[in-house]
A and B are shown apart, each in its own frame.
Chain A
Amino acid sequence: MSTVAIPALETDRLILRAPQMSDGDIFADVLKSARSRRVGGPGGAWFPATWPKPDFGWLLYDDAHDGQGYGTKVMAALRDFTWDHVGLSTCGAYIANDNIASAAVATRLGGSIDEDARRSEKDDPIDAWRFYPKGKA
């Protein structure tokens, strides 16, 4: 028997929890919609084996959720969790350079664009953002 444990994080208004079956329909709808055109998945620290480093990712489901600070709130909780509990000393985020909303979230999280990051192509329209714990940048 193996046990897999997924922690939950709470903010003032939100809970970040393991996905569950009842999330399936809306998630499928979002993946089919234009909202998902820039992303591969929902929020969290994601580190596929083929990626250079761990990465923050976020995806809000609905236009109705935009502009309420959810993205920043959630990612601030996740950022602190990443430093304090996962123990990472840095994390990245890949953001299309015309994705102004996500760039604003990244700025509020204290991130900056890493001009030296490896790019898949010379004119790659994706900016590599980098985050460090406070005082370690």
Chain B
Amino acid sequence: MTVAFHIPEIETDRLRLRLPKASDLAAHIAFRTSERSKGVGGPFDAQSSFQSLEAIIGQWHLRGYGRWMVANKVTDEPYGVVGIYHPMDWPEAEIGWSLYEAGEGKGIAHEAATATREFAYTALGWSRIVSLIMPDNVRSIRLAKRMNCRKTEAFTHPEFGALDIWVHATREAA
């Protein structure tokens, strides 16, 4: 008895959202050990990056949805991790985005998060999706506003502290 689970691939204009692979590890370590990961609770030690990639793959099996490695559609260069994040201690499923330095300033998070939202509404048939954002994460707040998210109540995580819950625009309004 083998358990098999499937991770869909999504293509956008410039990007491929795909299963993480071993060759993504160096870029993932560089992100997690740098100040760039501050908005998601970092920086972290390098050791934990392997488990982080394992967890991205594993949540697809545990939840039936998850996050992708966002890569350049042509060169396959990894740009970051975007998709639906839903650990055990989260109030609900959220669209999360973490951009590596190589993915900076090109609208890549917006392109991948928009594709993720579309996936949640169409493939999963959801009517609500949120993003949890630290109150001082200016760049993520900017992206949330650009995606027509609306800030609602705050959620206090035992480790990460206060996180604002931004509700995404409905499918009709998106």
Q: Which residues of A contact B (CB under 8 A)?
A: 1-8, 10, 15, 17-21, 24, 28, 48-50
Contacts and interface: CB of A to CB of B under 8 A. Distances in A.
A7 B47 contact: no
Nearest to A4: B5
Nearest to A40: B51
Contacts of A4: 4-7, 19, 57, 60-61
Given A2-B19, A48-B50, A50-B46, A8 B2 contact: yes
B163 interface: no
B22 A2 contact: no
Given A2-B19, A4-B4, A5-B4, A49 B50 contact: yes
Interface bin, chain B: 20 to 34
B63 A21 contact: yes
B61 A2 contact: no
A7 B2 CA distance: 4
Which 9 residue pairs are nearest across A and B when measured between Cβ atoms? A18-B3, A2-B19, A48-B50, A5-B4, A8-B1, A2-B7, A6-B3, A49-B50, A7-B2
Contact of A1 (B9, B25, B51, B63): B9
B51 A48 contact: yes
Contacts of A15: 1
Nearest to A28: B88
Interface in B21-80: 22, 25, 46-47, 49-51, 57-58, 60-63
